[in-house]
Amino acid sequence: MADYDVIIIGSGHNGLAAATVLVKEGLQVLCLEKNKYVGGMAATVEHFKGFKHDIAASMLFPLSDKVVKDLDLENYGLEVLDTPTMTSSTGVPGESPVIFYSDPMKMMEHIQKDHGEDALLGIAGVYGFCNTAAEAADRFNPLSPPRSMGAIIEAAPTIQVKNVLRKCFFGSAMDVINEFFPDPNKHILIKSFLAFMAIQSTYRGPYTPGSALCLAYSLAAPGGEPLMRRIKGGLGMLPEGLCRQFTEKGGEVRLSTPVKRILVENGKAVGVELAKGEKISAKVVLSNLDTNATFLGLVGEDNLPSDFIGMVKEIDHRSPYLQILLALKELPEFTGDLAYANESGLRGGMGIFHSPEHLEQCWDACKWGRIPEDPTIGIQIPSVFDDSLAPPGNHVATIFSYYFPCTAPREQHGHLKDEMADKVIEKMNKYAPNFKDAIIDKAVLAPYHYESMFGCTNGDFTHGLIHPEQMLDFRPVIGWSRYKTPVENLYLCGSACHPGHGVTFIPGYNSAQEVLNNWKK
């Protein structure tokens, strides 16, 4: 007699989504988490006393209505903040900032007034391209089986849509951006923002073939939904809400309980062994970890076909980002071209970019193991909208910067991340001279920190970068794109599965449905 019907390894948002679906169907479910909090890379954590930071994911992108309803998210953590803006983009001398208002009408009025009708048409064209591609790839559609690129293109209703899909799968982000913004001397800032959005989940530059798919994944917003939203209390309120719902329905969560290995007998998963030696049996095991961590770390090569292991080892997990968590005693006061950001709400999120060519130069430095001379900056200060995240009068800030040279020798990463962080902070201080003095405390996180904290291979928060050869029916590897694995009764339920990364809950939701289908059989 097994101790549990189902054991789920990892309490990230997808693991908890799967757990909630299964416990509602009457199964006895245990969720095991190595950290002392739930949420994984969608957690909100008090990293400095009194200051709460979203650790990795911070913005909520569009959700499926079906997933919201079935997971009852509106009653468990989904309290969306009414923010006037999503983000803004600046950094090109002489160009007006691009402000992404939450109200689409206000956004369009701003673009037309400050950037011209050709810019408005260009942004509409890029968004249309991204939504067409994401819809065809079932980016937001739960229970849709992953299809091949060929099948998706073949099913396209028109030649125009087929061409969109060809460019999405095989073109670069700049192929798309230049199609809608053809003048090389105009709208540099808009093009820079779009290029930055296209590389955040890749090991590629904006001119690299294949980067167009990440652009589509980043900018798609079906049904006119806002592209980016914030959650009251931080994004971690969603997994924390799911955890409450899961335990209320009879599920069990054990925190600070790392798993040493998945127990396999006669080709079947039969439970887990914990780091402290305890063995727990189950009829089914789900892993919310990435493919590499699951099979090379917890299952072991001896229990798997050699061709499968070969494909797992080929998954690209090179993640060239740097994250800086900051506790601030005051907001930055911007000067010069960036003084616009001192207006109410605009300091909540902004990017400082220069040109797509500059971004490509940063990518070139990364490829050769060097930090960029002038790193890109994406900064969020969510306490501008949500004062529950910091003590009165203080603020929390997070900076993401690309490209960190993640392929440099590992022993160099410590000094490289500190050197790059210094460059980022000096650059911020150039635009906001009070910035350095406003810092109470900071933590500089390179990819290896993420690997240590969350077990994700090379710190890859996508569980397999958003490259065309790692998506759709290739995800996680050829022949195993439907959540099952070569080990009977072992499933994947995290972002390593279709449709991929982002806080959509779809991989976990879909995996649970696959378990239930086989359970009934």
DSSP 132-199: HHHHHTTTT-TTPPP--HHHHHHH-SSHHHHHHHHHHHHS-HHHHHHHHS--TTS-HHHHHHHHHHHH
State whether residue 475 is helix, strand or coil: coil
Whole-angstrom distance between the N-terminal and C-terminal Cα of the chain? 19
Kindly state whether residues 345 and 435 are assigned to the same domain: yes
Kindly state whether residues 20 and 45 are assigned to the same domain: yes
Amino acid (1-letter code) at residue 25: E
Confidence band (pLDDT; 50, 70, 90) for 405?
very high
The b-or-e profile of 108-136 (16+ CB within 10 A means b, else e) is eebbeeebeebbbebbeebeebbbbbbeb
Confidence band (pLDDT; 50, 70, 90) for 521?
confident
Kindly state whether residues 376 and 292 are assigned to the same domain: no
Residues ≥6 apart with Cβ < 8 Å to 308: 295, 477, 480, 486
Kindly state whether residues 375 and 423 are assigned to the same domain: yes
Does residue 264 lie within any of the structural domains? yes
Average pLDDT rounded to a whole number, residues 318-339: 95
Average pLDDT rounded to a whole number, residues 93-119: 93
Kindly state whether residues 300 and 213 are assigned to the same domain: no
Does residue 340 lie within any of the structural domains? yes
Point out the domain boundary residue: 224, 257, 276. Answer: 224
Residues 384, 395: contact at Cβ < 8 Å?
Answer: yes
Kindly state whether residues 133 and 192 are assigned to the same domain: yes
278: closest CA among 251, 297, 260, 294? 260
Q: Report the pLDDT value the prediction gives residue 94, as an integer from 0 to 100.
A: 85
Token output for 251: 């599920």
Q: Is pLDDT of 119 > 90?
A: yes
81: closest CA among 111, 113, 110, 54? 54
Q: Is pLDDT of 59 > 90?
A: no
Residues 382, 234: contact at Cβ < 8 Å?
Answer: yes
Q: Report the pLDDT value the prediction gives residue 303, as an integer from 0 to 100.
A: 97
Q: Is pLDDT of 212 > 80?
A: yes
Q: Report the pLDDT value the prediction gives residue 228, as an integer from 0 to 100.
A: 87
Q: 41 vs 35, 230, 451, 455, 461, CA distance in Å?
A: 11, 16, 11, 10, 7
Q: Is pLDDT of 379 > 80?
A: yes
Helix (H) or strand (E) holding 271: strand 268-274
Confidence band (pLDDT; 50, 70, 90) for 302?
very high
Helix (H) or strand (E) holding 364: helix 356-367
Q: Report the pLDDT value the prediction gives residue 345, as an integer from 0 to 100.
A: 81
Does residue 229 lie within any of the structural domains? no
Q: Is pLDDT of 104 > 90?
A: no
Residues 442, 324: contact at Cβ < 8 Å?
Answer: yes
Does residue 438 lie within any of the structural domains? yes
Kindly state whether residues 433 and 347 are assigned to the same domain: yes
Kindly state whether residues 158 and 217 are assigned to the same domain: yes
State the total domains in the chain.
3
Confidence band (pLDDT; 50, 70, 90) for 426?
very high
Kindly state whether residues 309 and 330 are assigned to the same domain: no
Confidence band (pLDDT; 50, 70, 90) for 222?
confident
Q: 465 vs 176, 211, 291, 355, CA distance in Å?
A: 20, 11, 12, 24
Does residue 156 lie within any of the structural domains? yes
Residues ≥6 apart with Cβ < 8 Å to 275: 257, 258, 259, 260
Kindly state whether residues 30 and 131 are assigned to the same domain: no
Residues ≥6 apart with Cβ < 8 Å to 128: none
Point out the domain boundary residue: 416, 445, 474. Answer: 445
Domain that holds residue 356: 321-405+407-445
Residues 80, 230: contact at Cβ < 8 Å?
Answer: yes
Q: Report the pLDDT value the prediction gives residue 24, as an integer from 0 to 100.
A: 97
Question: Do strands 4-9 and 29-32 pair parallel, antiparallel, or not at all (unpaired)?
Answer: parallel
Q: 251 vs 6, 20, 186, 327, 520, CA distance in Å?
A: 10, 8, 56, 36, 20
Point out the domain boundary residue: 203, 224, 245. Answer: 224
Least reliable range by pLDDT among 23-37, 79-93, 154-168, 425-439: 79-93
Residues 2, 25: contact at Cβ < 8 Å?
Answer: no
384: closest CA among 338, 437, 424, 343? 343
Q: What is the pLDDT of residues 231-241, one digit of tens each?
A: 999 999 999 99
Does residue 55 lie within any of the structural domains? yes
Does residue 88 lie within any of the structural domains? no
Return the DSSP state at 484: B
CATH of the domain at 292: 3.50.50.60
Q: Is pLDDT of 226 > 80?
A: no
- The radius of gyration of the chain from alpha carbons, rounded to an integer in Å, stands at 22
Kindly state whether residues 440 and 378 are assigned to the same domain: yes
CA dihedral defined by 283, 288, 291, 297, rounded to 10 degrees?
Answer: -70
Residues ≥6 apart with Cβ < 8 Å to 396: 51, 52, 53, 325, 326, 327, 328, 381, 382, 383, 389, 390
Does residue 89 lie within any of the structural domains? no
Kindly state whether residues 372 and 387 are assigned to the same domain: yes
CATH of the domain at 363: 3.30.519
Confidence band (pLDDT; 50, 70, 90) for 221?
confident
d(CA 299, CA 271): 11
On the CB side of 165, CA atoms within 13 Å amount to 22
Average pLDDT rounded to a whole number, residues 52-56: 93
Q: Report the pLDDT value the prediction gives residue 157, as an integer from 0 to 100.
A: 94
